[in-house]
Every structure is written in C-alpha cells, then in structure tokens.
Amino acid sequence: MMMLEEEQISFRSASLIFDGVEDYSHQIAEMIGLRNESNFILAGVRTILDIGCGYGSFGAHLFSKELLTMCIANYEASGSQVQLTLERGLPAMIGSFASKQLPYPSLSFDMLHCARCGVDWDQKDGILLLEVDRVLKPGGYFVWTSPLTNPQAFLRNKENQKRWNFVRDFVENLCWELVSQQDETVVWKKTSKASCYSSRKPGSGPSICSKGNDVESPYYRPLQPCIGGTRNRRWIPIEERRNWPSRANLNKNELAVYGVHPEEFAEDTENWKTAVGNFWSLLSPLIFSDHPKRPGDEDPSPPYNMVRNVLDMNAHFGGFNSALLEKGKSVWVMNVVPTIGTNHLPMILDRGFVGVLHDWCEAFPTYPRTYDLVHAEGLLSLESGHRHRCSTLDIFTEIDRILRPEGWVIIRDTARLIESARALTTRLKWDARVIEIESNSDERLLICQKPFFKRQAS
C-alpha cells in the first residue's frame, strides 16, 4: 500500500518480504553464496527481469547497488505496478508472456525474479518456464518466492506439493541446478554448459529448438515448447563475462560476436560523448526565446534531477545510454530497437543496459506521461524508407502520450525530415526549435518541450 507522510509518498506492503527488502536481497545473495547484495556484480549479475514487481521496491534497492532491474507486469486499468515503478524513476514496462514470447532476444538477463508474481509456473506443460529459460543467460539465476515453495505448506496441501514437484522436476530437465531453498524462496542456476542438454536421458525434458524456431527478434511470436538459445554465439556464462561497468565497453573479440567492427564502435562511442554534452546544455527554456543564444558555461545547467526516465527510440549500439552514464547523469535509458531496423538489442543487453524490440507504428507498452526525455536519432529516416506504414504525426502523437509535461524531445535527422517534423510540433502545441549541427551540414537537431497546461479557473 501507499502512505502519504509529510507530502511524500512512501511504499508499504502487506508482505514481510518487501517491508524488509534489504534483508530479502541480502538473503538471496547469501543463498547464491555471496556476502551481501553488493557482491551480485562480482557474481556476474547486472541486469534483472522482475516479473510482477509490485511497487518496484526490490529494483529500487538494487539500483543503489548498480544493478538494473526491469519490471514487467500486465496492464492494469488503475496503473499500479508498472506505472508506480516508473513514477519512482525505475525501469518498467507493460509485459506478459501468457501466450507470446517477451520482446527480448534469447540470453538477455543475468537473473529473473518472481516474488508472489501470480504466475502459475506448473501450468501449460511448463511452457512459461521455457520462456524464462530462453531469456536467462547461461549461469544466470531464477529466484522464486512463493508460499508454494515452502516445505511446511506441503504437509497441509497435497495439491501444492504436486505443483511444486512438477516445477522442480521440469527445471531439472532444463539443466537448472537447485542452489538453495530457504522458507518461501528458492534459487536455481541455469547451466553454463550447452552440452548438458545432449547428456540428458533420451525423452527426458523438452527438446532443443530448431534453428527456425530460435530467432533473435521474437516480436509477437508464440511461446515455443522447446529450449532456445543453445546454438547462439552469445552463449557465454555470466561468470565468464566482464563485470559491470567494464562490460559496457566491448573489446574486439566481443564485438565480433555481433558482427560490429571495432572502428565503427569506437567512432560511435566518441560521437555520442560529444553529442551528449551538447544536448544537455540545450535543455533550457532559453532556447525558445525570441532571440535565443546557445546556453554557455556562464548559464546555469539543467537541474541535476530534471531528467530521470529516458527513452531512446532508435538506440543503435546503446551509445546514447553509455555516454549519459559516463557523463555522470543520474538517469536510466529504455533502449528501443525498431523492428524494421538492424537488431542490435542483443548487444545492448549484453553491455548491461535494458531495452526492448518495438514497432513505432504501435503504442509503446507503457502508461501515459512516464518519460522525462525522448530521444530519436535517425528514426525518421528509418521510417521514411518503409512505405505504407504510419505517418510521422502518428509517431509524434505517441511520443506526446508517453512524455511528461515539461518533458523534452531531441530528434536528430536530415534537414528535410527535421523541417517537416517541426511543422507537426505546432499541432501538438510543443515548443520547438531547429538547431544546426556544426560538424554535419546535412543534419539538424529538433529540440522540443511539451508544455504544462494548467486548468483555467472558471
């Protein structure tokens, strides 16, 4: 529940788990064999998918330990889990895998967490557990907290014991190792060796997915009744990956896995370092005055906490995200990879960032007014290259829906497309200004701010 204390909202839960989230996180760390949750990174854990995350308290605590937790939950008319988590400045999106695969490639997360998340893992012949296995990196952990896992409950309810036995036996056939079980919490570790699957007894457990059913772009694909990701070049155990933050800076051998040349990656990184410094200085109402000047060193910088939730609509390698963190900005970035573009999402996730596949002709899986800054580099060019799709106005209307009042939009594209886009901003009543880019005469920046409309007194 939420409580209002001296004009501040605090979060309380009927569950003892989340009233003591620090103790709970500490318990999980100890179950894995670590001293405390600050050592998760040393064990190769950086990104966590939190299924049915409540108010995001688990992710909020781990964020302070440099772990990035993505909350997913079903759409709720009241907003609830995802909306409140985003209001707290934490990663979250509406998501369900009741029948479709999640919009993440195989081997995406270091840990999956489900604390009384409402998922019946024993149903549908275990296909939901197969989806967990698909998005979990080799050597990654699945943490499940539920009354169903409490051995004391078995004595009182034989049906619960039957359900528990199914889950335990099923994940054993997925080559998961039971690491620890305490009270209502159980921790499994996914195998680090792909050879484990071929060493199983014939006919035991699900089969390996065929190449045609094991793709890196699972957008609107039905759940698959097979084990995915085993043939992937990205099959690298989390304990063999470099720890955060080093993993964000990929070396030559790591880049080869994604087919990216080191020179291309280095150039992209340097370009974003320069661009972010310029972008941040532009986020000022000064830019919309009649005779604007570019804010300089003598002008006050934007407030430190002005921007927290950032959406990158065409994330490419995740360079914008990386540059923001290197500049010390207290932000997190939802890196979106358009379904019509090159799929660099595996690379983004392996760098220790969060992101998702998305078609920008559809509504983004979030609630209204949840992002402070929306950024798009090259998206208009990408969309214009595909005819018979939605209009730029359709995309801008969706940006307006998810952008908070007084939130910012930064769009970089060709001069022709930027001028066309600027004309649309008046229809949305955004403040807007086109900025020339000194190093590139063919491109422009469009800086926009969504106004805050106050209700007129009657």
pLDDT at 123 over 70: yes
pLDDT number for residue 14: 40
pLDDT number for residue 218: 87
pLDDT number for residue 425: 96
Judged by average pLDDT, the poorest of 266-280, 281-295, 309-323, 399-413 is 281-295
Reported as a pLDDT band with limits 50, 70 and 90, residue 405 is very high
Q: Where are the beta strands (DSSP E) in 191-316?
A: 309-312
pLDDT at 299 over 60: no
Instruction: Tell me how many helices (H) and strands (E) the chain has.
Output: 14, 16
Reported as a pLDDT band with limits 50, 70 and 90, residue 136 is very high
pLDDT number for residue 277: 85
Convert the pLDDT of each residue in 342-396 to its tens digit.
999 999 999 999 999 999 999 999 999 999 999 999 999 999 988 778 999 999 9
Tokens of 402: 């998810």
DSSP bridge pairs for 111: 48, 141
Concatenating the DSSP letter of every residue in 121-186 gives TTSGGGHHHHHHHHHEEEEEEEEEE-GGG-HHHHHH-HHHHHHHHHHHHHHHHTTEEEEEEETTEE
Report the Cα 265 to chain-centroid distance in Å: 22
- Those residues whose C-beta lies under 8 Å from the C-beta of residue 89, and which sit 6 or more positions away, are 308, 309, 332
CA 310 – CA 370 distance, rounded (Å): 9
Reported as a pLDDT band with limits 50, 70 and 90, residue 78 is low
For the chain, what percentages of helix, strand and coil (3-state, to nearest 5) are there? 35, 25, 40
pLDDT at 294 over 80: no
**Contacts by 388-392 with C-beta closer than 8 Å and gap 24+?**
389/340, 389/361, 390/360, 390/361, 392/420, 392/421, 392/424
pLDDT number for residue 233: 94
pLDDT number for residue 430: 97
Q: Which domains does the chain have, with CATH numbers?
A: 2-241 (3.40.50.150), 247-449 (3.40.50.150)
Convert the pLDDT of each residue in 265-293 to its tens digit.
999 999 999 999 888 888 877 677 654 44
CA 21 – CA 15 distance, rounded (Å): 10
pLDDT number for residue 439: 72
Tokens of 255: 């880049």
CA 247 – CA 41 distance, rounded (Å): 11
Between 217 and 258, whose confidence is greater?
258
Q: Which of 47, 41, 145 is nearest to 105 (CA)?
A: 47
Between 414 and 212, whose confidence is greater?
414
Q: What is the mean pLDDT of the chain?
A: 91
Mean pLDDT over 446-451 rounds to: 96
User: What are the distances in angstroms from CA 185 to CA 134, 149, 292?
Assistant: 22, 7, 58
Reported as a pLDDT band with limits 50, 70 and 90, residue 15 is very low
Mean pLDDT over 286-313 rounds to: 67
